[in-house]
Chains A and B, each alone.
Chain A
Amino acid sequence: MASIDTGGDGGQKKGPGVKKAKKLSTRVDMTPMVDLGFLLITFFVFTATMNEPTTLDLNMPKDIKDKKEQTEVKESGVLSVMLGKDDVVYYYEGKLAEDGSNFKSTDFKGIRDVIINKRKDVMDRYVPDPACEAKMAKEGKPISNCADKDFVVIIKPSKDATYKNTVDILDEMTINQVRTYAMVKIFDQEYELIKKTEEFNQAGIK
C-alpha cells in the first residue's frame, strides 16, 4: 500500500511536559503519478502500433533473350501505362500508332477508370474458351478468370517517375485485380512522345 501507517503513539504515554507532535497525514496524492503513468502508456501504445511497415510483393520476370521463349499476348488486350514526370500517367491501348495518335495522358485518379474500362472491353469481346474454362474448373477457380485472361497491363516507368509512382501503379493493379501485368523498360519512341507532350503542355501554359 502506498500509505504507510506509522502506528500513532504506540501506547506509550508521554510525560505532561512533552508536547504532542502534530500528526501529519502520510497519505500521498497519487493523481500526478497516475497522470504520468497513463501518459507513458499512451506514448508506448502509439509507437508500438502506428509505425508498422507493410510489404508489397513484387515478382519480376526473367530476362529472356530468346524471342521464341517470350510470352506472346494479344494486341487487343494490352494496355501500356507509362509513368512520366510530376505524377502524369501516359497510356495507349494495343500498339502505339505511328503518328502517336492513340497516346493519351491522364493522372493517377484517371488511370483507374482507364484500367476498368479496358478490362470491361476485353471481357465483352471474350469468346468462350472451353479449354481454359475446363482448366479453371479443375483448379477450383471462377470461370470469369478466363474472360480477362487476355487483359495485360504493361507498366513502363520513365526515368522521371518517382518510386512512389511505381508503387502507386502496382497498387492500382492490386486494387483493380489485374492478374497479368509486367514492368518493362520504356521504349525510346515512347519516351520521346512523353517529352514532346511535356513540352507541348508547357508551351500551352505560357
Chain B
Amino acid sequence: MPSVKIARKSTDTDMTPFVDIAFLILSFFIMATKFKPPDIVEIKTPGSVLSQKLPENNAVMISFDSINRVFFTVLSDKDPQKYTDIISEINTGQNLGLTPAEIANFRNIYMVGVPLSGVKQLLGMDAKAVEKIRQPGIPVEDSTNNQLFWWIRAAKNAFAGEKLNYLIKGDANSKYPAFEAVVAALKKNEEFKYNLITQLDGAEASLYEANKAKNK
C-alpha cells in the first residue's frame, strides 16, 4: 500500500507582525498618557455620581489633606506668564522681597502650602527638595487671617477677563471646617462657583442614571 505522505509543516508561527502591533499600541499609549505631577501630599478624594470631566487649564486648585492642611496650586500650562503674574502680585502686596530667581521658581513648585511668611524660603528651594519637606499648610481657619484669600485674589487678578475655574480637592476624611474655610476665602473674593474634585462612584452612578431615566 502506498502511504500518503503528509508534508510536515512547522508549528512555529511568525510572531513578528504580532510584536509590531503590540509595540504600535504600546507607543500610542505611552504618548497619550499624561503623567500626573507628583503628589506632595496624599489626597483621597470622595466618590460622587457625576462623571463630568475636569478642566485642567485656567484653573487654580485648592487642596486639603486628611489633617486639614491647605495647599494652593495654579494650573496654567498654556500660559506660563500667569505664574509670574500671581507670585509677583503676592510679592508686592505682602512685601515678601522675593528675588527674580525665586519668582521664576514658583512655576516649578506644584503645591504651595506654607504661610506667607514662609513663601520666600519655600521658593528658594529646589523643586525636588520641596517634595521632601513637610509643608505646614496655608493658614485658613482663623477667619481674620485667612491667607488663602490673598492667593485667590492674586489668581483672580492674573486671570482677569478670562474664565478661571476653582477646583477644590479635598481628602474624604478631612473635617468640614477646612472646607468651610476654603469656601469662605473664595466667597470673600466674590467667587461662588466651584468644582469639587471627586472620583466616579460606579454603583451609585448607575443608580443615578436609572433614576434620571425614570423621571424623564
Q: Which residues of A contact B (CB under 8 A)?
A: 1-3, 27, 29-31, 33-34, 37-38, 40-41, 44-45, 47-48, 51-63, 83, 157-168, 170-171, 174-177, 185
Contacts and interface: CB of A to CB of B under 8 A. Distances in A.
Contacts of A57: 50, 52, 193-196
Contact of A165 (B18, B22, B176): B176
B200 A163 contact: no
Contacts of B200: 52, 54
Contacts of A177: 211-212, 215
B54 A54 contact: yes
A61 B192 CA distance: 7
Interface string B89-125: 0000000000000000000000000000000000000
Given A2-B16, A34-B22, A56-B48, A157 B176 contact: yes
A33 B48 CA distance: 41
Contact of B195 (A3, A41, A55, A62): A55
Contact of B50 (A51, A54, A59, A62): A54
Given A162-B172, A163-B173, A177-B211, A56 B29 contact: no
Given A62-B192, A175-B208, A55 B50 contact: yes
B192 A53 contact: no
Contacts of B40: none
The 4 closest A-B pairs by CB, nearest first: A30-B15, A37-B22, A44-B29, A164-B172
Contacts of B25: 41
16 contacts: A2-B19, A27-B12, A45-B29, A53-B169, A54-B54, A55-B50, A57-B194, A58-B196, A60-B183, A162-B174, A163-B176, A164-B172, A167-B172, A171-B201, A176-B211, A177-B212
A40 B201 CA distance: 27
B29 A34 contact: no
A171 B29 contact: no
B48 A171 contact: yes
A33 B26 CA distance: 12
